[in-house]
Amino acid sequence: MKISADVFEVFLKCSTKCWLRAAGEPAFGNAHAEWVRSQNESYRADAAKLLTADVPANECDVGSVAENLKTAKWRLAVGVELCMPFVTRVSTHAGSGGILPQDNSLVVPCSPAKLEASLSAGKIPALPSLVACLHAVERVPSAGRGKHAQFIPIRFIFTNKLTKDDRLLVAFDALVLSEALGREIAVGQIIHGEDHATLKVKTSALAGEVRKRLEKISALLSNPTPPDLVLNRHCAECELQTRCRQKAIEKDDLSLLAGISEKERKKLHSKGIFTVTQLSYAFRPRRRPKRLRDKREKYHHSLKALAIREKKIHIVGSPELKIEGTPVYLDVEGLPDRDFYYLIGVRIGNGGSAVQHSLWADSVEDEGRIWRELLGILETVETPVLVHYGSYETTFLRRMSERHGKPLKGSIVAATIEAAVNLLSVIFAQFQTDRK
């Protein structure tokens, strides 16, 4: 069994996808997945060129392997191929002399020679291999006699914003490199984004979590059957989306209900509820106590399931939306990876007399200009009421006030922004449609 960096990355997003990819499940294609793959490949090539540009040719290596690491003289290596056995637990007890299974992990002798002999004799199953192609490795010469040279794994990521998964990936690289060198790799680097920013990652702090994930992957891939299918947020950008969604529809799986958590699913399973249809019979309309009438209605997954089964729109209670003034509808578009907003759409009033504005920003510098234009438009409206749909615009209003200045305190515009109406918060729990 081989666990590569790609397998590790997939597992962080979805265990089902990890098992299917390892089993060779054919992909049906996904435009976003293809775009991400091409962006990663081109960014990796460009970043490697920039990194090696300032390093003399005689101090740079390409495609180095594990056997050459300890005797390496290069300062920078690109595309380092490594394949090392993954040992989950090492015994240090004197006289243990053997291999003992414990809690689905392996206890092995400290001596590599004993480990190899035990594997050859069939006393333990073959260990999974960790496979990595390190994007780059920097070698820092030893600081003095008796001290080892330092090796720093470097990973290239094209996005401007990094996630915990990105840090775990460079920690995976560091773990494989540490196995090859026989000593801990405490630090890694990530080069990312349009400006090729550098982030230092303390991989030693993440090594324990990486090992736990690897043990789970090893157990997962050892199982001849895939794990229980659960749709999640990654599905929208996955090349196996069509396959998994069709399976979920056939099973009428609870994960078809967007927003239902793993904890909620387990609770329903404990009650014998495994399908959307079963859940639909669990909804019971109840009269709300007087003390709760002014509070927001609770979201009922069972009502959503009922709407799907009956193919009807269900409404809880008597939702009200009061707009006392001139409605100003707001819709914003931006690039989340860059925290850059390039379009503010504004529609003032209703019906044929409505006026619409499209405020465009061609660059980050223009963002402040369109924000000020929006504030100017709001000043011209009599008793404006700002209306939007979802939290994206809520975040936009807060960030723009912090980034480019708030309207004058006590002004009508300031009051309008503070009292902006989020339609989603009004209808989220009270309107349920038959759309899965």
Asked if 191 and 152 count as a contact pair (C-beta separation under 8 A), the reply is no
Asked if 184 and 52 count as a contact pair (C-beta separation under 8 A), the reply is no
> Domains in the chain, ordered, with CATH?
2-86+128-222 (3.90.320), 254-318 (no CATH), 326-426 (no CATH)
Q: Hey, what are 374's tokens?
A: 């929006």
User: Using CA atoms, how far apart are residues 11 and 6, in angstroms rounded to an integer?
Assistant: 9
Each residue's pLDDT, cut to its tens digit, for the chain (436 residues) gives 889 999 999 999 999 999 998 888 887 778 888 999 999 999 999 999 999 998 998 888 887 666 678 788 889 999 998 888 886 544 444 444 444 343 334 434 344 455 455 545 555 445 678 999 999 999 988 777 767 889 999 999 999 999 999 999 999 999 999 998 888 999 999 999 999 999 999 999 999 999 999 999 999 999 999 998 899 999 988 999 989 999 999 999 999 998 888 899 999 999 999 999 999 999 887 777 777 666 777 788 999 999 999 999 888 877 778 888 999 999 999 998 888 999 999 999 887 788 999 999 999 889 999 999 999 999 999 999 999 999 999 999 999 999 999 998 889 999 999 999 999 888 887 778 877 7
CA-wise closest residue to 155 among 199, 202, 96, 111: 199
What is the pLDDT at residue 294? 65
Asked if 187 and 202 count as a contact pair (C-beta separation under 8 A), the reply is yes
Count of beta carbons in the 10 Å neighbourhood of residue 230: 17
**Gyration radius (Cα) of the chain, Å:** 28
Q: Which residues contact 190 (CB under 8 A, 6 or more apart)?
A: 154, 155, 156, 157, 162, 166, 167, 170, 198, 199, 201
What is the pLDDT at residue 126? 55
3 - beta bridge partners?
A: 130
What is the pLDDT at residue 351? 76
Asked if 158 and 192 count as a contact pair (C-beta separation under 8 A), the reply is yes
The pair phi, psi for residue 239, each rounded to 5°, is -75, -10
Beta-strand relationship, 326-335 and 340-348: antiparallel
What is the pLDDT at residue 96? 43
What is the pLDDT at residue 67? 65
Q: Which residues contact 228 (CB under 8 A, 6 or more apart)?
A: 16
CA-wise closest residue to 87 among 124, 117, 133: 124
Strands (E) located in 215-325: 314-315
Residue whose entry in the numeric block shows the structure tokens 């775009």: 35
Q: Hey, what are 105's tokens?
A: 């992990």
User: Using CA atoms, how far apart are residues 217 and 229, in angstroms rounded to an integer?
Assistant: 16
User: Using CA atoms, how far apart are residues 315 and 86, in angstroms rounded to an integer?
Assistant: 55
Strands (E) located in 277-320: 314-315
> For the packed helices 367-379 and 391-404, what is the interaxial angle rounded to 10 degrees?
100
> Count of alpha carbons within 13 Å of 215, Cβ hemisphere only?
14
What is the pLDDT at residue 128? 79
Length of the chain: 436
Percentages of the chain per state (helix, strand, coil), in multiples of 5:
40, 20, 35
Q: Is 86 exposed, middle or buried (0-12, 13-18, 19+ CB in 10 A)?
A: buried
CA 315 to chain CA centroid, Å, is: 34
User: Using CA atoms, how far apart are residues 92 and 82, in angstroms rounded to an integer?
Assistant: 26
